[in-house]
Structure 1
């Protein structure tokens, strides 16, 4: 029976490519770069460098794609999201990956075999499953978010087309990269006013080198269970370093765009009350600094928290997957407590480190899984 790979994003494509390179029969089910196409806006700029790619063999890299297109690194710095999507399509073709554009709606495990039911009605059996659930399952909202009328609020990953916000008053809750970048894009799309509110101080705007991820990923490949075996102080220091690079520091090209769009920023401020002015109408926001705003739309750029139980196709297996803090407990090769079920990407960050939530870790993830699979099958 073939190996089943669920997903069409970076981690799934990396696994599918390496499976093909190693002669493993794999069926890949998902939408090609689904989250990237459906939950990232046109005009978004990535924070990664050109050394981030999908190929565990190091051949079909983003740099190779740029060379084929006669593009220099300077021409694509920062990298537009559209370019990386194009690279992923090129990678898929170069690696001969056939992607069934369908969705797995249910996954069960009986007598050592996985049974997948697809949205199309098709059924697939497999001995091994690699699943890379997208982070859209894991959106996080503040407690008061439910008080806003339907149609007046959305998470940033669910609002990626901004034309309808022209002339609107928009409040963005959150203070990291997505909050500020959405603010710039929405202002550039003609919003009447854009406010950003967050509880922490103003972030720093500066260029960040992500090369320190390389050492962590190399250590992960060299040492079985490297992350979980680190002394707690060392893990905490790495977490702090990743936090400072990814959340405490934002891209240096943002301030000029925010200023040009007239974005107003309210740091060290919380929302204390949100209530509609009329039934289903604009929302009245009261902040901790006693200021009030009337807004037409609230966008929550409030991040993500792994909660595997929210992944619909895993509903039948959740009770058999040992979890901690909402994340699966994984072995040294990303295998869950259901034998043959590997879970990677954002779901793996608890046991493998925060860098497994980034595309940079996709090739390493594929290598770990394939090495374990081939060792088990001889």
Structure 2
């Protein structure tokens, strides 16, 4: 064994990267986690935001007990929204107790070399050789702005992830495009800061998640299905608790599940806050946008009958989600990207999150096309970390640096004893 080559390098220190790091450390692998812990959550989530997920579904993946969100928070009760700052603090606490010290640098380039080996260049100037690389870059590289808005200058259009504070919009008219939690909460936080938000959405009616049911849990489970990481119900229970099953579904079915499961909806606790301060333009889509001579923006909308209406504002915020695309992971060498097999725009993964290049794994949103919608949420981090590190451990003990690519194998010991 070449001591100058580490077992695994993890790109990213968000919930998925930290979870992989925790499992790799427990398994005794030589692991380096590159990134500032919880950076995206600290810098790209609005102050005053709350998590949509319940406490039991907000834990990072840990191979040992006692490191869940409820253990950190002293038993956070169901139905009490979790402030994003509290979740960030939990992630830092988890890192301190479970993860090899993350390195606050950046990965500039990942190249595939014979072996298989990976050469990873860091912003510090260091070059690292690794048998395996886990790409866990979160959602940041994949923010989606509709084409009708993308041509506007940055002074007039931004994505919801671009804003930690909204004070600069006080007294201004701001159009928020979208109907999901991000759009609804952005509109409310804008109003809280004294802005005049306009919520613009295709849906003719906003959807809201139900208040968590308390009491009569057994009867509720029989009638509505068990509670799980994606909510409640038997169908979504499979998507939440058995994502390995999703991988065997046809590609188009998986795509529909990712797009439509837990569609745009607001948390129950946000409903009363979306009051008369927020103007609603529902059942309309953006068909054109342009900068006006006075420096404002004109947005042309159209309803299902083809009737058009103009909206004028000082700024537009696209709360229009994230679309994973391998080509937008700039740190991957272009030649490496070209060699990856793909499912749509995402990498095609085997049963262990390994891509078509041996030793290269993807976790988080980029794995949703293979394992389904749970990979869009923190709740999927434990499953992903167990699978990846279980496979790394098994193949390295067998004397292979990565195993046979794209070939499903049986459950590892780590998975069986889950």
Q: TM-score, normalized by length of structure 2?
A: 0.82
Paired position in structure 2 for 1:328: 347
Aligned residues: 364
Higher relative helix content: 1
User: Can you give the 5+ residue segments of structure 1 that lack an aligned partner in the other structure?
Assistant: none
Distance 1:214 1:22, change over 3 A: farther
**Aligned with 2:297 (options 255, 280, 283):** 283
**Aligned with 2:362 (options 332, 336, 343):** 343
User: Can you give the 5+ residue segments of structure 2 that lack an aligned partner in the other structure?
Assistant: 213-226, 398-418
Paired position in structure 2 for 1:160: 164
Paired position in structure 2 for 1:266: 281
Instruction: Note if contact 2:197-2:279 (Cα within 8 Å) is conserved in structure 1.
Output: yes
Paired position in structure 1 for 2:194: 190
DSSP-derived class of the 1:120 partner: coil
DSSP-derived class of the 1:259 partner: coil
Instruction: Note if contact 2:107-2:122 (Cα within 8 Å) is conserved in structure 1.
Output: yes
Task: Map 1:127-142; keep pairs closer than 5 Å.
Answer: 127-142=131-146
2:103 aligned with 1:87, yes or no? Answer: no
Distance 2:254 2:338 in 1: 29
**Aligned with 2:387 (options 365, 368, 371):** 368
Instruction: Note if contact 2:110-2:120 (Cα within 8 Å) is conserved in structure 1.
Output: yes
Paired position in structure 2 for 1:61: 68
Paired position in structure 2 for 1:255: 271
DSSP-derived class of the 1:14 partner: helix
Distance 1:139 1:189 in 2: 24
**Aligned with 1:38 (options 23, 36, 43):** 43
**Aligned with 2:128 (options 121, 124, 134):** 124
Distance 1:164 1:148, change over 3 A: same
Instruction: Note if contact 1:217-1:364 (Cα within 8 Å) is conserved in structure 2.
Output: no
Instruction: Note if contact 1:173-1:299 (Cα within 8 Å) is conserved in structure 2.
Output: yes
Question: How much is the aligned-residue C-alpha RMSD, in angstroms?
Answer: 2.2
Distance 1:275 1:159 in 2: 22
1:288-335 CA distances to partner (integer Å, 9 max, x unpaired)?
A: 254322200001111111111111111331012111211001111000
Distance 1:231 1:107 in 2: 31
2:242 aligned with 1:219, yes or no? Answer: yes
Instruction: Note if contact 2:46-2:165 (Cα within 8 Å) is conserved in structure 1.
Output: yes
1:110-133 CA distances to partner (integer Å, 9 max, x unpaired)?
A: 122111111121211111111112
**Aligned with 1:102 (options 78, 101, 105):** 105
Distance 2:209 2:237 in 1: 20
Distance 1:33 1:55 in 2: 14
Q: TM-score, normalized by length of structure 1?
A: 0.90
Distance 1:228 1:250 in 2: 28
Distance 1:235 1:314 in 2: 25
Runs of 4+ in structure 1 deviating by more than 4 angstroms, as ranges, are 211-215, 231-237
